[in-house]
Amino acid sequence: MAARRFLGREHVRFGLTVFGLSAVMVFVLAACSDSKPEAGNSPASSTPPASSGTPIPTASTPAMTPLPTPTKPWPTPKVTGQPADDAPLADRIRFAIAKQAQIAAGKAATTTVKCPGIEDADKPGKHQLTCTVTYAGKPYTGTLTVDAEQYSASYKFTSDSVAVVKAKVVDAVLRTAPSAAKVTCTMADVAVVKHSGEPIACDVTTTANAVEPYQAQVSGNGQVLVAKA
């Protein structure tokens, strides 16, 4: 019969105590392990990357060179071909109309005037004729009224249109628009416009590279009036 050995309470308590200490030692050893952590288990760093200190460049608006502001009046064109004082009335009237057309336009250019029936305008009485003026290839019409007497005559030519060169319009805009670096007008180099109609649209680019709209109105005698749109 095998002998049985009974452990007393003190022996059991001592055994539990030893087991508890062993467990603590295992936990401590596991916690103090100096083995390198696996690459996938490394915590992410929360420290932001160091700044290089170089400022980030920003886009800047390039400055533009201002156009010179005209200081002298627009020059009056020199018109040649004036007939003699004793030339036929028809020739003198045609030249007067052509001269006024070139002065209004702002530049001397080939100009023709055709008024059917003008050859008889020197006869006493009132005459009203329709004339076609062609300035630098650009035609427009008007009305000629002649009041003739035996030794004298007076005449008047009127039209709701007028010819003008682009350079004259741009010059007028430059006199009105401050700090203009560029002027663009929607017209040909030579244009026929109605002085009571729609104005000429112009865009002014300032030295700050901003675009501002302007309008140019040409009067019957060629004066260019400019205002901001």
What pLDDT score does 217 carry?
97
Question: 189: helix, coil or strand?
Answer: coil
Backbone angles phi, psi at 152, to 5 degrees: -150, 165
Residue pair 207/181 in contact by the 8 Å Cβ criterion: yes
What pLDDT shows up at residue 178?
85
Judge whether 163 and 188 are in contact, CB under 8 Å. Answer: no
Check residue 190 and give its pLDDT: 98
How far apart (Å, rounded) are the C-alpha atoms in residues 72 and 9? 126
Q: What is the pLDDT along the chain (229 residues), one digit of tens a residue?
A: 444 444 444 443 434 333 333 333 333 334 334 445 454 454 555 555 555 555 555 555 667 899 999 999 999 999 999 999 999 999 999 999 999 999 999 999 999 999 999 999 999 999 999 999 999 999 999 999 999 998 899 999 999 999 999 999 999 999 999 899 999 999 999 999 999 899 999 999 999 999 999 999 999 999 999 999 9
Which residue pairs, CB below 8 angstroms and at least 24 apart, start in 59-63?
61/208, 61/209, 62/209, 63/207, 63/208, 63/209
Domain map (residue ranges) of the chain: 89-159, 165-228
Cβ neighbourhood burial of 226 (10 Å; 0-12, 13-18, 19+): buried
In this prediction, residue 54 carries a pLDDT of 57
| Rounded Cα gap, residues 133 and 144, in angstroms | 11
Residue 59's pLDDT is what?
52
Q: What residues does 183 pair with on adjacent strands?
A: 204
Global confidence as pTM = 0.72
pLDDT at 229: 94
* pLDDT at residue 60 in the model: 58
Q: Residue 12's pLDDT is what?
A: 38
